[in-house]
């Protein structure tokens, strides 16, 4: 958390507050985590976009501010007890919050991602035309790593994290520990479609807010996709697939808690 749907929701809500406005001052006390932010001060925001789990602000003077929300990062329109960075605009202030302090900011020359190498090797966006089935099949065929690990790695497809990997694998009836290069053509096709479907639905309802409520939209509202979860965080509950009869189990794959149905997602 946050993953593509939460980051995209945040970007869309922030964009009207940022676009065309000048970043007057960025105030924080952690220059190692929020790097070179003074370079953004006095520059107007020309555009906002998202790449995987990153928010990228294009600024005047061929400069970019890049934001990774980490596990608990987000924005608020009012001061918050976990505020880590204040973004002072003309007539308004945004508050970047991060209880666990895993988020990071970089201000760099436009397109210079040497400090963020993941941006240079990230795969296609799942909701873009670049996410084609043939390219996805080729990416899976090149590795014997477990399919859950491949999805989390960001190179086969961008923006998929723990929650949405579990949901897409459940929807496509694929066990999270299957070696990626053992997926048959029909299975890869189901997974490709499931990733697109899960991501589109999650973005539409503002992402997922879990029981710890660490993710909220900048306006304070929760996301609502957790009401549609079929696998993630449903350990011990009956599988939602009609006629299945299984119960959701939890295991660990690639160091991440992983939820699946052992009946309809067989190895």
Residue list for the binding site for DNA: 82, 100
Of 50, 53, 104, 178, the catalytic one is 53
Query: How far lies 148's CA from each of 9, 57, 96, 173, 256, in Å?
Result: 24, 30, 30, 13, 9
Structure tokens at 131: 């996410």
60 is catalytic: no
189 is catalytic: no
Report how far residue 64's alpha carbon sits from residue 18's, in angstroms, rounded to the nearest whole number.
13
Report how far residue 36's alpha carbon sits from residue 52's, in angstroms, rounded to the nearest whole number.
22
Of the candidates 67, 68, 78, 18, which has an alpha carbon nearest to the alpha carbon of residue 43? 18
Query: How far lies 143's CA from each of 27, 140, 180, 229, in Å?
Result: 44, 6, 6, 28
- Binding site, residues? 82, 100
Residue with tokens 């009207």: 16
3 is catalytic: yes
Residues in the chain: 267
Report how far residue 140's alpha carbon sits from residue 192's, in angstroms, rounded to the nearest whole number.
11
Of 86, 145, 241, 256, the catalytic one is 256
146 is catalytic: no
For 138, phi then psi, to 5°, come to: -65, -40
DSSP state of 222: P
| DSSP sequence for 105-124 | EEEEETT--TT-THHHH---
Of 2, 5, 124, 176, the catalytic one is 2
Torsion angle of C-alpha atoms 205, 206, 210, 212, degrees rounded to 10: -150
SS3 51: strand
Of 3, 125, 149, 167, the catalytic one is 3
Catalytic positions, written as ranges: 2-3, 53, 256
């Amino acid at each position: 958390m946050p993953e593509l749907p939460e980051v995209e929701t945040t970007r869309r809500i922030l964009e009207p507050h940022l676009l065309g406005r000048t970043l007057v001052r960025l105030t924080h006390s952690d220059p190692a985590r929020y790097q070179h932010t003074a370079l953004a001060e006095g520059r107007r925001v020309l555009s906002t976009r998202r790449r995987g789990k990153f928010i990228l602000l294009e600024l005047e003077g061929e400069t970019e501010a890049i934001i990774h929300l980490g596990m608990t990062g987000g924005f608020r329109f009012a001061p918050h007890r976990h505020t880590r960075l204040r973004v002072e605009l003309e007539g308004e202030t945004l508050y970047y919050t991060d209880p666990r302090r895993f988020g990071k900011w970089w201000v760099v020359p436009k397109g210079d991602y040497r400090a963020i190498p993941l941006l240079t090797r990230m795969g296609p966006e799942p909701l873009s035309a670049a996410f084609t089935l043939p390219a996805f099949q080729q990416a899976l065929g090149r590795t014997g790593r477990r399919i859950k690990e491949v999805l989390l790695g960001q190179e086969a497809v961008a923006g998929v994290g723990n929650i949405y990997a579990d949901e897409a694998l459940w929807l496509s009836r694929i066990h999270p520990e299957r070696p990626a290069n053992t997926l048959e053509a029909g299975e890869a096709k189901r997974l490709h479609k499931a990733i697109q479907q899960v991501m589109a639905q999650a973005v539409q309802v503002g992402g997922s807010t879990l029981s710890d409520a660490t993710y909220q939209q900048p306006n304070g509202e929760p996301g609502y996709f957790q009401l549609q979860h079929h696998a993630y965080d449903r350990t011990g509950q009956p599988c939602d697939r009609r006629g299945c009869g299984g119960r959701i189990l939890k295991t660990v794959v690639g160091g991440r808690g992983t939820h699946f149905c052992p009946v309809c997602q067989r190895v």
